[in-house]
Amino acid sequence: MDVLCLLFYAKNRWEKIRLLNTIKRKGQRQPSPRFDMAEVLGTHPEDLSVHGLDAKGKLFWNLPVETLVEMAVVRGEGAYSAHKALVTETGERTGRSPNDKYIVDEPTTRDDVNWGDVNISTDAETFSNMRNKVLAYLAKRNELFVQDLYCGADMSESLPIRVINETAWHNAFARNMFIRPSADQITKHTPEFTVFHAPNFEASEEDGLNSQCFVIVNYQAGEVLIGGTKYAGEIKKSIFSVMNLILPKKGILPMHCSANTNGRNTAVFFGLSGTGKTTLSADPKRALIGDDEHGWGANGVFNFEGGCYAKLIDLSEEDEPEIFGTTRKFGSILENVVMDEKGIPDFQDISKTQNTRGSYPIEFIDNRTADSTGGHPQNVIFLTCDAFGVLPPISRLTSEQAAYHFISGYTAKVAGTEIGVKEPQATFSACFGEPFMPMHPGVYADLLSSKMEQHNAKAWLINTGWSGGPYGVGNRMKLKYTRAMLNAALDGDLDDVRYVIDERFGFSIPTECPNVPNEVLQPIQTWGDQASYHKAADNLAEMFVNNFKRYEAGVSDAVNASSPKSLSN
């Protein structure tokens, strides 16, 4: 009997899966293309009525990414690159929409959330109204795509989630980005949070929101509503925000960071977008744990995700071979990447956006840990891209300075990255991820300090930005130098060298480092005009001080004393 017929006659989904596994073991030809099997494998014994969603169309449940990619192309949601990666466009919104993100003000979390301009409140009535509209919209789709997944590789702390999409493309993204359950786990899966994702549904003026776009989290209901934006990152970041409220109550530190390990020594890398988290954690000498979101719990570090969402601007095979290689694999999703007439991605072309992205399962990185976990970190790295050219390329921090710089979360935008930005602009984002941190930054800083003290971890500040002058005058720090300094710190090669104290910022700067010219380590020595350096450094110090005023009352005197000082005063 034809294999496809056998699949149709199988009694249930699990029998179909067992049959397919038997086919693979015996080397029989599998049904092709995968798209022909979509309805067969995508069925599920449940419907979506448990969510109050009476879907009229077909439900495709827990499809593999390869099938979803093929369906996305057939449905006109994207196109293949020359290497069969899925290339998509997000339209007007090519990044997150922080002004359109809301948390429902309700009794179970009201006292936990640090309400304000970042954590914007909305009421239960507004949520209910938008929920009814989104579910009514999804119910009318001809096809819906559902994934049952987990957030958190440490299964003792993992959050079971369900993602419901109107597009195959975004469903593939969700499957790439979260932890994919085993056949045994899927039988026991009960979602504690559900994401209703309707990118083509827009809010109206009568809904009382800021725009047609919305991301609304309701902790009491265990639900997220997303609409009016095709930017896929909103899916993963919404669940990251959920973890950032749940885990601290258990004594677990959620972190916007990448992480890697050599088996004996684990490191975490904090940093805002564009500072090098993904690049520097993908080290051939160390195994990747994950590139963006982690927890630090009783057993050490664990990845929240099952994939990576890397920035692709200026990606090159020479500098980042492993990440470059993922863009040439079937199952990767490239967002807003420009291709030439042959379908070859041009990662230098930013005509659509500077925020070009690639989503791929972590299995596409060969050099990774098998279970996306690592031990307790011995080194905590804060990454910044200082476009003013002031901060040293590497500094060692005291525990108080670590808390100060963690809460500050500094980097700088360069000219041309946004409309109206004509010179470097300082950006401060508490805990290097303020938009995703529902609680007061002091909660996360206290957790970090206690865990660093408990496990005797060292703290380092690494500047991947400019040297010899600000953006437009100096040059970006060479990646080979940054890697050399980072490896020296992680390997203990900087433990016994001589340090000098920066008189303005207070941290310790090594006077030598293997494979790095000594003069590069001291930023003032790389400037041709030292008076200009002092002026720029004083300006940056004052920016730090002004930013930290909103946190002064919530931290210790020792942390406040770690604030930089302007030498011109």
Distances (CA, A) of 454 to 172, 298, 438, 555: 40, 11, 25, 19
Which neighbouring-strand residues pair with 121? Answer: 103
Omega within 30 of 0 (cis) for the link into 321: no
C-alpha 97/C-alpha 234 separation (Å) is 8
Residue type, 220: Q
Catalytic residue among 67, 88, 93, 96: 96
Distances (CA, A) of 65 to 35, 85, 135, 161, 532: 11, 11, 24, 17, 53
Q: Are 288 and 323 in contact (CB under 8 A)?
A: no
Please give the distance of CA 346 from its chain centroid, rounded to a whole number: 23
Residue 531 parent element (H or E): helix 530-548
- 96 is a catalytic site residue: yes
- 237 is a catalytic site residue: yes
Strand extents, DSSP E, 351-430:
357-361, 373-374, 377-384, 394-397, 410-413, 425-428
Q: Would you call 47 helix, strand, or coil by DSSP?
A: coil
Q: How many residues does the chain have?
A: 569
- 278 is a catalytic site residue: yes
- 451 is a catalytic site residue: no
CB under 8 Å to 69, separation ≥6 — which residues?
A: 86, 168, 169, 172, 330, 331, 333
Catalytic residue among 170, 237, 286, 458: 237
C-alpha 372/C-alpha 374 separation (Å) is 7
Q: Are 69 and 34 in contact (CB under 8 A)?
A: no
Would you state the structure tokens that stand for residue 85, as one six-digit string? 């990666």
Catalytic residue among 167, 258, 273, 326: 273
Residue 69 parent element (H or E): helix 65-74
- 273 is a catalytic site residue: yes
Q: Are 369 and 288 in contact (CB under 8 A)?
A: yes
Catalytic residue among 236, 277, 368, 451: 277
Residue with tokens 């809010």: 203
C-alpha 25/C-alpha 12 separation (Å) is 20
- 75 is a catalytic site residue: no
Catalytic residue among 122, 229, 278, 384: 278
Catalytic residues: 96, 237, 256, 273, 277-278, 292, 357
